[in-house]
Structure 1
């Protein structure tokens, strides 16, 4: 693949506007994640409280994912994204004002995180599935890589900038920037026009559409095998890395150093994205699962010997592996599932992958207090690798090929009511 072909999707007007929207939104989000964590720790020095705020976002998001998938398969996906972005701007703006004004309490952040999580659940399936409507199939890998390049490039700077804002002017300003980017992201989607939806021959029926999506989900072995595995993997990662990580860093390497670690992870993502702009990814799920196993070393280092250099190296490798999986998973979904079912497939994917995240967010704080932070992190790293190995026992995961030639290769949805 030449560099000219790698950037060809940007010549597509619809993709260019969508790309710009994702760019500004990602910049804010990368700063907000670290800012919110330390905003909570400033209010109450408790990883359990941080877990509660994170879970308050995750639980309603997971609860509404399936409904979001039905909505995204029924209505224009950019319209669904605009609604989600506008609502997110309001909720994040309220959090920023409370933090900046010094009036924030944990219960307030929990309530606003519930709102933000709900609108994220509605918008996620549309965001995940819109790309095949913006570019031809042969441009899916470079288009996915360009989106990843934006996300990962901003992730290099975002955590470090967010950490600098936290230690200088406070967490509220990073959260305020995030709110502004949600609003701008919604406005940048206005010029995007999508092909008209094929009219449903039957009257819209949410229960029927959900049942159809469920039947399809369980009819594709590689789909449910990876999703079930990620239900456990995300539980471990959310509890060990996202919840315990900032608390351990606060007591060892420091807040600004933690920002550098997260930026190193983003550099790994970014470098791998550039490689994937040129290199065709074969066996997307086999390579993807091997890549995602690299998320275990940072947890192991954090638990066994939390030194900055070791964490930076491990985080870089983790980021590289994560990007291989992200690309492989999106290509597997977008090339093998027909468009009318894609949002619902992504919604069941997200539901299964995210449903246990609140368990990790809520449980790992008490586990660390009971057994010690470092032993829990080491055990989490070992369990993570074991789960990846179990997923790779599925032949359909190991052997799934690329599909680029014709739509006949896509997996069709079963008949309604099947």
Structure 2
């Protein structure tokens, strides 16, 4: 896994993103604590998170098309600049700023996140080369999990020792470091200017990515499952957990966040070794490991129990992420990686803005137990609904049959068919 760091440009990109992701972990804890003193803390946090998700949705698909069209390091730098502007403005306006300004800044930050995600994922895969794709994917996932452990711990320590605002400032500094490592990277372009001209505009390219995914029913079904789970489970829990644990002090919230990341890291280091004819079944059942955490939060269990179950939740989610990510990268041509990753992220976040905001307001009307009970039922139903779809259990069908999944009335464009036929990798 770490052998790919010997590739000079990849190692350089990884270093910058490693530091940047630590900053993201700091932000996850400190932004909640930054807004916690407000009388309407739940509504403020829900508004900010919902607006961030909305910004991501607005830019994800076009961001994926950009990542497949121009140098991906340039796209990442632009994304970092947007996030610097969003956090800087939040610091200047203060924690008591209006909900409308919080919503606007959340959109700015979310736009940066939406542009960044497909570009970074595709850049790592591109620099590694197809022969090292699995190792690079595992390194990226492990880095995300590890920084998810360190970042919240640093954020909690900074918030307790100084202030949450200092934590937000640290996040800005990490983005500056990321931009410095990407300057003059000069990675090879995926497509020439001639190719880009023949492919048409960004909207056409984005639609080609949608057509590619819709032509693979198993892939589309899992992405839709992610939409439902993110909206009905992840969105409400994103508000419930900070509100439930924030009152117990910065250390409690940091422990829960870090425990989730620890479980995810442990699973990331081992999930790639899973060998099964039904990896999709294992991946989907891994999501059910989130149930104990939801139940523990609903029952207002002791912190140590919630921390333990958070570890389990992170492990289960990571098993899904590793197996699903491997299936995507093995089925998708290089020139379409950005768009497919972007569509996956887009569908995951499609309903999160509304549901996150709704969760924030519902917590002012309903007890935490009611919101978490709904989330638990939704988790069970979304997993049960997707498992019977053909191809889900095996995470795809053999490559020779994959193109046959395109239904007559939902054919992709000629560009998408040519890319799928000429670049489809085998297992």
TM-score by length of 1: 0.89
Which of 190, 206, 209 is equivalent to 1:213?
209
1:171 is aligned to 2:164: yes
Worse overlay, 285-294 or 349-358:
285-294
Aligned to 1:300, the other structure's residue is in SS state helix
Alignment partners' CA distance in 1, 2:216 and 2:401 = 13
1:72 is aligned to 2:100: no
Which residue in the other structure is 2:383 paired with? 388
* Superposition deviation, residue 90 in structure 1: 2.8
Alignment partners' CA distance in 2, 1:280 and 1:50 = 38
* Superposition deviation, residue 382 in structure 1: 2.1
1:230 is aligned to 2:230: no
**CA offsets 1:301-351 (integer angstroms, 9 cap, x no match):** 100233112101110111111211221222111110111222111222122
Alignment partners' CA distance in 2, 1:232 and 1:203 = 32
Which of 259, 277, 282 is equivalent to 1:264?
259
Which of 263, 267, 274 is equivalent to 2:269?
274
Alignment partners' CA distance in 2, 1:115 and 1:374 = 33
Which of 225, 243, 257 is equivalent to 2:239?
243
Alignment partners' CA distance in 2, 1:382 and 1:254 = 29
CA contact (8 A) 1:292 1:321 kept: yes
* Superposition deviation, residue 162 in structure 1: 1.3
Alignment partners' CA distance in 2, 1:417 and 1:18 = 29
Alignment partners' CA distance in 2, 1:210 and 1:126 = 14
Alignment partners' CA distance in 1, 2:62 and 2:36 = 33
Which residue in the other structure is 2:102 paired with? 109
Alpha-carbon distance change, 136 to 340 in structure 1, aligned in 2, over 3 angstroms: closer
Alignment partners' CA distance in 2, 1:345 and 1:386 = 26
Which residue in the other structure is 1:415 paired with? 414
Query: Which runs of 5 or more residues in structure 2 are unaligned?
Result: 407-411, 418-427
* Superposition deviation, residue 68 in structure 1: 0.9
TM-score by length of 2: 0.87
CA contact (8 A) 2:38 2:96 kept: no
**CA offsets 1:94-124 (integer angstroms, 9 cap, x no match):** 323444xx77444433322221112222222
* Superposition deviation, residue 125 in structure 1: 1.8
1:56 is aligned to 2:51: yes
**CA offsets 1:186-244 (integer angstroms, 9 cap, x no match):** 21123534333333161632332233222212101122111111111111234332112
Alignment partners' CA distance in 2, 1:175 and 1:247 = 19
Number of paired residues?
Answer: 406
Alignment partners' CA distance in 2, 1:45 and 1:167 = 22
The 5-angstrom pairing of residues 23-34 of structure 1 reads: 23-34=18-29
Which residue in the other structure is 2:190 paired with? 197
Alignment partners' CA distance in 2, 1:371 and 1:126 = 40
Which residue in the other structure is 1:313 paired with? 308
Alignment partners' CA distance in 2, 1:366 and 1:94 = 25
Which of 352, 363, 367 is equivalent to 1:372?
367
Query: Which runs of 5 or more residues in structure 1 are unaligned?
Result: 1-5
CA contact (8 A) 1:281 1:328 kept: no
Aligned to 1:398, the other structure's residue is in SS state coil
Which residue in the other structure is 2:146 paired with? 153
Which residue in the other structure is 2:13 paired with? 18
Alignment partners' CA distance in 1, 2:207 and 2:264 = 36
CA contact (8 A) 1:286 1:397 kept: yes
Alignment partners' CA distance in 2, 1:186 and 1:72 = 16
CA contact (8 A) 1:218 1:224 kept: yes
Alignment partners' CA distance in 2, 1:388 and 1:183 = 40
Aligned to 1:74, the other structure's residue is in SS state coil
Alignment partners' CA distance in 1, 2:96 and 2:284 = 44
The 5-angstrom pairing of residues 125-136 of structure 1 reads: 125-136=118-129
* Superposition deviation, residue 83 in structure 1: 1.3
* Superposition deviation, residue 168 in structure 1: 3.0
**CA offsets 1:25-74 (integer angstroms, 9 cap, x no match):** 11100011111112122233431221111111111210111111211111
The 5-angstrom pairing of residues 302-341 of structure 1 reads: 302-341=297-336
CA contact (8 A) 1:61 1:119 kept: yes
Alignment partners' CA distance in 2, 1:332 and 1:414 = 23
Alignment partners' CA distance in 2, 1:114 and 1:237 = 22
Alignment partners' CA distance in 1, 2:282 and 2:13 = 28
CA contact (8 A) 2:324 2:395 kept: no
Alpha-carbon distance change, 15 to 285 in structure 1, aligned in 2, over 3 angstroms: farther
Which residue in the other structure is 1:3 paired with? none
Aligned to 2:301, the other structure's residue is in SS state coil
Alignment partners' CA distance in 2, 1:298 and 1:128 = 29
Alignment partners' CA distance in 1, 2:295 and 2:372 = 6
Which residue in the other structure is 2:115 paired with? 122
